Amino acid sequence: MSAPGGQGGAGGSRPALEVAQAVRAGEVSARDVLEQALEQIAGRDGELRCFNAVTATAARAAAEAVDGRVARGEDPGPLAGVPVALKDNLCTRTAPTTCSSRILEGWVPPYDATVVTRLAAAGAVVVGKTNMDEFAMGSSTEHSAFGPTRNPWDLTRVPGGSSGGSAAAVAAGLVPVALGSDTGGSIRQPAALCGVVGVKPTYGVVSRFGLVAFASSLDQVGPLAATVEDAAAVLEVVGGHDELDSTSLPLPAPRLREVLAEGVGGMRVGVLSDMLADASPGCAAAVRAAAEALTAAGARVEEVSVPELLHGLSAYYVVAPAEASSNLARYDGVRYGLRVEGEDVETMNARTRAAGFGPEVKRRIMLGTYALSAGYYEAYYGRAQKVRAVVAEAFARAYLGAEVLLAPTSPSVAFPLGEKTADPLEMYLADLYTIPSNLAGHPAMSVPFALGEGGLPVGVQVLAPALGEREMFRVGAVLEAAADPKARAPLAAGARA
């Protein structure tokens, strides 16, 4: 299996920070960078299907505005001229925001998500909206109403999900960075399957205002990038308190790039042994190799058993659907999106939702409605909340002996399209190792580290306690340096060449 993106050439495939530096220095115009990216997209996206919409017109205007600032000697921002792709559940005035659902097809929000506003203020240029599992419910991007995205490493395989479009777009070198959202692993798992870096920040570090909600207490926006440093740069831009999100932490964005060179000397790292048992040999081997690399870099690495974390999966599949059943109630045909007429309002509601939602969304709405129903609430939702507390306590114990934890991101490498769509439970297991961090509200990132089964990339997951982003990124940087260069999407490989 060969790394993807070769035919695009390194010209359009430079790390975001290199692009920004060149644009800021006036060596290249934002407009030229954009045109190259649009060309790449036009050339590759027909087969990959990363994008639901490409916003060329708005992007050209944004790029020209950046060039104008450069020409006038103004600060064009830290991400000046960097093409960015947005998962299609982030609200944008310039393009429809569909969540890859028929029910929101064509809906253009009258406002931008806070993260979108911040990217624009930093000079980034949004090139389009990426495909996803419908309403972020899935782990393969096959649950998109508009068809699946394909993995650039192997077009017969899934890119992971639900932020599959964003992960594949970065992996293919169509854009250097993208935003995704992670409710149970939806940034990290596709990042791992596509050989890119994916970060789920601490809950509350990034504003959710303008992120179409799936499960509000778990959702968090984060970057997908070809390099750890680019991911850090994007998080520094989009993170930080937002008064429009009451759950946003009253803190500035974490400062991450300044710690990337600090190394891991003396850092205590725990390897989550329970998560190695069921992972594929290739995925487990990658984690062990990563542990060795950290030891070699001076970290004190130990295996730790925290079996409670694996109970998170069942709690997640109660909590997330429960919140989703409420969050998705508003798609009723009354105010926006799809409407299928009926003789009365109840019939109109029912027909609209029957026609507008795909099977996985319906399944989760039913699960969640059931879990919250009178008579079942305690047995399901109440119990799931208790398990959630157990997971948080288990993490707290583990972090008594370690600053960060190491685990596989995914139990397997990218699987073939169609392999798991018939069996929802099999699909749900794809998030077994990523879910605990969402339940606890902790940060976690996936760093491409090795090639596994079939020569496909394997990501290693670095987990940290709440607001442990700086330690997490230090580990991420060391792993990136120690990784098999062939395991990473060619964009960064080309940059290092």
- Contacts to other proteins by CB under 8 A: 89-91, 97, 99, 104, 107, 109-111, 113, 208-213, 215-217, 243-247, 322-323, 325-326, 329-330, 332, 334-336, 344-346, 349, 369, 372-374, 377, 381
Query: Which one, 1 or 350, has the nearer CB to other proteins?
Result: 350
Query: Which one, 71 or 329, has the nearer CB to other proteins?
Result: 329
Query: Which one, 46 or 110, has the nearer CB to other proteins?
Result: 110
Q: How far is the CB of 77 from other proteins (least distance, A)?
A: 24
Q: Which residues of 179-209 are buried (b: 16+ CB within 10 A; e: fewer)?
A: bbbbbbbbbbbbbbbbbbbbbbbbbbbbbbb
Enclosing H/E stretch for 84:
strand 83-87
Query: Which one, 319 or 398, has the nearer CB to other proteins?
Result: 319
Q: Which of 13, 87, 207, 420 is catalytic?
A: 87
Query: Which one, 29 or 181, has the nearer CB to other proteins?
Result: 181
Query: Which one, 203 or 449, has the nearer CB to other proteins?
Result: 203
Q: Which of 186, 207, 248, 410 is catalytic?
A: 186
Upstream peptide bond of 162 is cis (omega within 30 degrees of 0): yes
Query: Which one, 84 or 324, has the nearer CB to other proteins?
Result: 324
- Long-range Cβ pairs for the range 252-258 (8 Å, 24+): 253/205, 254/201, 254/205, 254/467, 254/469, 254/470, 255/470, 256/232, 256/469, 256/470, 256/473, 257/229, 257/232, 257/233
Q: How far is the CB of 249 from other proteins (least distance, A)?
A: 11
Q: 87 an active-site residue?
A: yes
Q: Which of 162, 166, 181, 207 is catalytic?
A: 162
CA 332 to CA 338: how far, in whole Å? 8
DSSP 8-state code for residue 311: G
- Cα dist from 433 to 19, 56, 189, 283, 460, whole Å: 34, 37, 9, 12, 11
Q: 181 an active-site residue?
A: no
Beta bridge partners of 304: 272
Instruction: DSSP for 13-26, please give it.
Output: ---HHHHHHHHHTT
**What tokens were used for 148?**
């699946």
Q: 162 an active-site residue?
A: yes
Quote the radius of gyration of the chain (alpha carbons, Å): 21
Q: How far is the CB of 452 from other proteins (least distance, A)?
A: 36
Q: How far is the CB of 217 from other proteins (least distance, A)?
A: 4
Cβ of 288: how many Cβ atoms within 10 Å?
A: 16
Q: How far is the CB of 235 from other proteins (least distance, A)?
A: 20
Burial of residue 116 (CB within 10 Å: 0-12, 13-18, 19+) is buried
**What tokens were used for 310?**
């694996």
CA 20 to CA 217: how far, in whole Å? 34
CA 472 to CA 190: how far, in whole Å? 19
Q: Which of 342, 324, 322, 326 is nearest to 334 (CA)?
A: 342
Query: Which one, 235 or 384, has the nearer CB to other proteins?
Result: 384
The Cβ-side half-sphere exposure at 478, using a 13 Å CA radius, reads 26
Q: How far is the CB of 210 from other proteins (least distance, A)?
A: 4
CA 215 to CA 199: how far, in whole Å? 18
CA 197 to CA 44: how far, in whole Å? 21
CA 317 to CA 435: how far, in whole Å? 10
Query: Which one, 330 or 397, has the nearer CB to other proteins?
Result: 330
Instruction: DSSP for 198-261, please give it.
Output: EEEPPTTTB--TTBPPSSTTT--EEEEESSHHHHHHHHHHHBS--TT-TTS-SSPPP--GGGTT
Q: How far is the CB of 466 from other proteins (least distance, A)?
A: 15
Q: How far is the CB of 346 from other proteins (least distance, A)?
A: 7
Q: How far is the CB of 425 from other proteins (least distance, A)?
A: 24
| Residues belonging to the active site | 87, 162, 186
